Structure 1
Amino acid sequence: MKVLVVGGAGYIGSHCVRQLIAAGHEPVVLDNLVYGHKGALTPEVPFYEGDLGDKEFVGKVLKDEGIELVMHFAAYCFVGESVTEPFKYYENNVVATLRLLEVMHEVGVKKFVFSSTCATYGVPERLPMTEDLAQAPINPYGQTKLDVENILKALSHAYGLSFAAFRYFNAAGASVDGSIGEDHQPETHLIPLVIDAAVGKRENIKIFGTDYDTPDGTCLRDYVHVDDLSRAHIAVFDKLSEPGQAFFYNLGTGTPNSVREVISAVERVTGKKVPVIEDVRRPGDPPALFADSTKAQTELGWKVEFDSIDKIVETAWNWHSKNPNGYND
C-alpha cells in the first residue's frame, strides 16, 4: 500500500517508516521538521517538507503520490508546554489535523491511522487500563488527542472514513541497528535522560516522589518499544478495507516499571553509575499507569517483542552511544 506518514521524520514516525518498508509497503514522508530530523529519514523514501495544515500542498502530495492511507504522527506532545501554550497545541494538533482530514476527504483518501495517547484517559479509574475507561484528560495535550478521536468518529459516520486510533503509553527505545533513535529538544522522556546522567551529559537524574503506594515508592509506567508500537499500526491496515470502520487500541506491555527500575536497567546496560537526587512529587503524576493491550493482541495478532526494560534500554543505549549528540541536523 502507498502510505503517507505525516511526521515521518520524528521519533515514532521514522521508526514506523522502517517497519512499513519491512512489511512491503511504500511509505512517503511529510514533515515540517519543527521537531523532526533529516537524519531520521530513509534516503530512498520520498520526502516532502511542509505543514499538514496546508491543504493545497498536502492535496498535491496525496494525488501525485497516489496515497491510499495516511498515518498521523505529527502532533506536538510536550504535556507541560501544552499547559502554558494551549494555542500552539490546539492549532497544530486539532486545527491542522482537521485541514489534513478535509483534504483527504476531498481527494478520496479514506483510510487513516492515528497516533493517540493514554493521556486521553487522565487519571484512570482502574488498572490495568482498558479501552472502555472514561476519557477525562487533565491537560491540553491529552484533550487535543481526544478532540481528534471525536472528529474521526464523526467523519467515519458521515463520510465512511475508516480509521484506527492507538492510545499508547511510554514510547521508548531505538532501532536495533542503532541507525535511528530518540532525539527530542527538549528531552522529557525518562530513559534518554537517565542515559545522559550515566554518561555525564547531565549532573544527575531527579526522582520526583519516593513515597507513592508502589513497591519501591516511585511512579510506575508502561514502557513499550517504538518498533513494537509501529508494528501494531501496520497490523490494523487489513481491518480498514471496508468504509466506516472505527477502531481504538491501547498499546503497552502491561508490565510497568518504576523510576528506580529504569535507573537500575540503565546502570546494568551501560555499566555506569547514575547519580540520583530524590525530590518531592510533581503535581498531577499518577502513582501508576499501565495498559491492558488484550484487544490489540486478540484482534490484530500484535505481540510485544521487547518484553523487558533491559531489552528496551539496550536499544536506546546502542543509539545514544553511536550518536552522543543526537542527529547532526
Structure 2
Amino acid sequence: MRVLVVGGAGYIGSHTALTLAEAGHQPVVFDNLTMGHEWAVQWGEFVQGDLSDADLLRKVLREHQIEAVIHFAAFAYVGESVQNPRKYFENNLVSTLSLLHAMLDSDVRQIIFSSTCASYGIPEQVPINESHPQNPINPYGDSKLMVERILHWYGEAYDLKWIALRYFNAAGADPQGRIGESHDPETHLIPLVIDAALERRGPVQIFGTDYATQDGTAVRDYIHVLDLADAHVRALEYLAGGGESQPINLGTGRGYSVREVVESVGRVSGRPVPFEEGPRREGDPPELVADPSRALEVLGWRARYQELDDIVGTAWEWHSKS
C-alpha cells in the first residue's frame, strides 16, 4: 500500500516507516521538522510541510496516490499542555481536522491514529482495557480524546475507516542502530536514566516513593518502539481487509516501576546510576498498565519485547553511541 506517514521524521513515525518498507509497503513521509529529524527519514520519499497547508496535503495525497494515512504528528509534553493549552489544541486538534478534510477531499478513507493512554486519566483499575472510562486530566490527553471522537463521527457520516492506537510508554530503538529516540527536551524516563549513567546530566529524579506499588515508585507499561511500529502495520492491513473501526491499546500488559528502570539501566550499562528521590508530581497516576487483549484478538499482535532489560538494551546501544 501507498501510505502517508504524517510525523514520520519523529521517533515512532520513523520506526514505523522502516517497518512499513520492510513489510513491502511504500511510505511517504510528511513532516514539518518541528520535532522530527530529517536524518531519521531513510525509508520512502520525504515531503516537508505543515498540516495547516491543506492545498499541499491534497496535492501530496493525490500525486502519490495515497491509499491510507498513519498520523503521528502531535505535541506530547503533558506539563507544557497545561501551561499552553492553545498550542496543543491548535496543533493536535485543528491540524488533524485539516488532515482529515484533505483526506476526504482526496477520497482517502483509511487512517491509523496515534492516540494515548493519557486519555484514560487516573485509572479506576489496572490493567486498563479499551472500555475503561476516558477522563483525561490534561490538555494533551484531552486533545487526543477529542480526535478519537471526531474519527467516530466522521466514520458515521463519511465512511472514514479508522483505528486509534492508544499507546502506553514507548521505549527502545532500532537494534541495528539506524534510528532511535532523540527529543529536545527529553522527558522520557529511560533516556533520562541512560543520560545520568553516561554522566551527561545530573542525577535522575524519582518523583514519589510512597505510591501503593511494590517499591513505592510509579509503575508504567514500557513497549518497544518496533513493537509499536509492527502494530501500526497490522492495523493498516486490518482496515484494508475490511476490519471495523475501533480503539486498541498497545502495551505489554506488564508494568515496571521507576526504581526498576533505574536498576535495569545499571545492569545493562554496567554503570552506577545517580538518582535523587523527591515528592510526587501532581497528576501522575500510581500505575498505568495496558490490557492488550484486544490487540491480540483483532490484530494478532503481541509485543515481542517483553523484558525490560531487552528494551533498555536497545536504548542503551543507541544513546551511548549518539
TM-score class normalised by the smaller sequence: over 0.9
Q: 4+ residue runs of structure 1 moved beyond 3 angstroms?
A: 241-245
For structure 2, the 5+ residue unaligned runs are: none
Q: How many residues align?
A: 322
1:242 & 1:296 partners in 2: Cα distance? 16
Which residue of structure 1 aligns with residue 81 of structure 2?
82
Deviation at 1:243, TM superposition (A): 7.3
Which residue of structure 2 aligns with residue 251 of structure 1?
250
Which residue of structure 1 aligns with residue 145 of structure 2?
146
Which residue of structure 1 aligns with residue 26 of structure 2?
26
Aligned: 1:3 with 2:3: yes
1:244 & 1:300 partners in 2: Cα distance? 10
Query: Does the 8 Å contact 1:156/1:245 carry over to 2?
Result: no
1:133 & 1:163 partners in 2: Cα distance? 20
2:231 & 2:241 partners in 1: Cα distance? 19
1:88 & 1:14 partners in 2: Cα distance? 24
Which residue of structure 2 aligns with residue 160 of structure 1?
159
Judged with a 3 Å threshold, the aligned counterparts in structure 2 of structure 1 residues 242 and 16 are, in CA distance, closer, same or farther, namely closer
2:98 & 2:243 partners in 1: Cα distance? 19
Q: TM-score, normalised by structure 2?
A: 0.98
Query: Does the 8 Å contact 1:161/1:243 carry over to 2?
Result: no
* 1:295-323 residue CA offsets vs partner (Å, 9 max, x unmatched): 00111110211111100000001111221
The AA in structure 1 aligned to 2:234 is A
DSSP-derived class of the 2:36 partner: coil
Deviation at 1:64, TM superposition (A): 0.7
- Matched-pair identity in %: 55
Query: Does the 8 Å contact 2:252/2:302 carry over to 1?
Result: no
Which residue of structure 2 aligns with residue 15 of structure 1?
15
For structure 1, the 5+ residue unaligned runs are: 324-329
2:77 & 2:128 partners in 1: Cα distance? 22
Alignment of 1:1-329 (within 5 A): 1-42=1-42, 45-241=44-240, 245-323=244-322
2:65 & 2:269 partners in 1: Cα distance? 45
* 1:185-223 residue CA offsets vs partner (Å, 9 max, x unmatched): 100000000000001011111111111111111000000
The AA in structure 2 aligned to 1:22 is E
DSSP-derived class of the 1:236 partner: helix
Deviation at 1:153, TM superposition (A): 0.4
The AA in structure 1 aligned to 2:55 is E
Query: Does the 8 Å contact 2:221/2:289 carry over to 1?
Result: yes
1:28 & 1:116 partners in 2: Cα distance? 21
Query: Does the 8 Å contact 1:173/1:181 carry over to 2?
Result: yes
Query: Does the 8 Å contact 2:21/2:44 carry over to 1?
Result: no
Query: Does the 8 Å contact 1:162/1:242 carry over to 2?
Result: no
Which residue of structure 2 aligns with residue 326 of structure 1?
none
Q: TM-score, normalised by structure 1?
A: 0.96
1:318 & 1:129 partners in 2: Cα distance? 31
1:54 & 1:151 partners in 2: Cα distance? 20
Query: Does the 8 Å contact 2:5/2:28 carry over to 1?
Result: yes
1:303 & 1:240 partners in 2: Cα distance? 18
1:237 & 1:119 partners in 2: Cα distance? 23
2:182 & 2:283 partners in 1: Cα distance? 25
DSSP-derived class of the 1:262 partner: helix
1:218 & 1:241 partners in 2: Cα distance? 42
Deviation at 1:237, TM superposition (A): 2.1
Query: Does the 8 Å contact 1:160/1:243 carry over to 2?
Result: no
* 1:63-114 residue CA offsets vs partner (Å, 9 max, x unmatched): 1111000000001100001001111100010001001100100010000000
2:59 & 2:320 partners in 1: Cα distance? 40
Judged with a 3 Å threshold, the aligned counterparts in structure 2 of structure 1 residues 147 and 244 are, in CA distance, closer, same or farther, namely farther
The AA in structure 1 aligned to 2:175 is V
Query: Does the 8 Å contact 1:163/1:240 carry over to 2?
Result: yes
1:243 & 1:97 partners in 2: Cα distance? 24
DSSP-derived class of the 2:199 partner: coil
The AA in structure 2 aligned to 1:217 is G
DSSP-derived class of the 1:249 partner: strand
